Amino acid sequence: MNNNILIIEDDKDIREGVRILLEGEGFYVEEASNGSEGLKKLSQDTELVILDIMMPGISGLKTCEKIRKLSYVPVLFLTARSKESDKLVGFMAGADDYLVKPFSYAELLVRVKALLRRHQIYDKEALRGSATEEWIERHSIRISNVQNTVFRQGAELSLTEIEYRILLLLMRYPSKIFTYQNLYESIWEEPFLNASSNTIMVHIRNLRTKIEENPQKPKIIQTVWGKGYRLGPTEE
């Protein structure tokens, strides 16, 4: 397997426990005890970052923001904070997934494999993109169908992989109403659970802050109450 995973966690016991678990599954793992050390160890070969939020020095949130300026590598947050507002802050910093402490190693492993699988599929699509790339344009948004490149009114946007995939799906099928289950199973490629709705809402909210003129009154990604989301109609 040999996927390269970087763990940035100040708790030595958690860090070593996660490393032992992942190495037992065939992953190559690097460790860092703080954000500064983690940023130095981040490389083009890193395929996933597991990042603690509460750390001395540079916090996990600031570390994630710095990672996002360098790479689209998937980031999985580990945190003791479980409130929805805390998750929103984490996703706004650029996280792809969120795991609350204490967590089971089985759940961690499922999240890790899912993030790596989606990232690998994304990379394969990007590699094929030179011959098949197309651009979709609606609502002053211009998005590539094969790589995370998005423009709004000519300015390039910085979207996480999850945000990009959600937006691309909505742009591809502008007349379709996507239920929470449609979106979750299409983007996350995992079975939908009741708690999955909250995950979707947080990512939609974060995406709206980047693409809407007024995120409180969204025109691009509209909520269809009781059903899900759809791309809003374009103005004639």
Please write the tens of the pLDDT for every residue from 104-154. Answer: 888 898 889 888 887 776 554 544 444 477 899 999 999 998 788 899 998
pTM of the complete model: 0.66
- Cα–Cα distance measured from residue 33 to residue 207, given in angstroms and rounded to the nearest whole number: 31
Domains of the chain: 4-126 (3.40.50.2300), 134-231 (1.10.10.10)
- Cα–Cα distance measured from residue 3 to residue 1, given in angstroms and rounded to the nearest whole number: 6
Give percent of the chain with pLDDT exceeding 90. 41
- pLDDT tops 80 at residue 40: yes
For 53-70, what is the mean pLDDT? 88
Please write the tens of the pLDDT for every residue from 210-229. Answer: 999 998 999 999 999 888 99
- Cα–Cα distance measured from residue 63 to residue 8, given in angstroms and rounded to the nearest whole number: 9
* Confidence at residue 188, expressed as pLDDT on a 0 to 100 scale: 79
* Confidence at residue 84, expressed as pLDDT on a 0 to 100 scale: 64
Give percent of the chain with pLDDT exceeding 70. 90
Give the sign of the dihedral formed by CA 93, CA 96, CA 98, CA 99. negative
* Confidence at residue 123, expressed as pLDDT on a 0 to 100 scale: 56
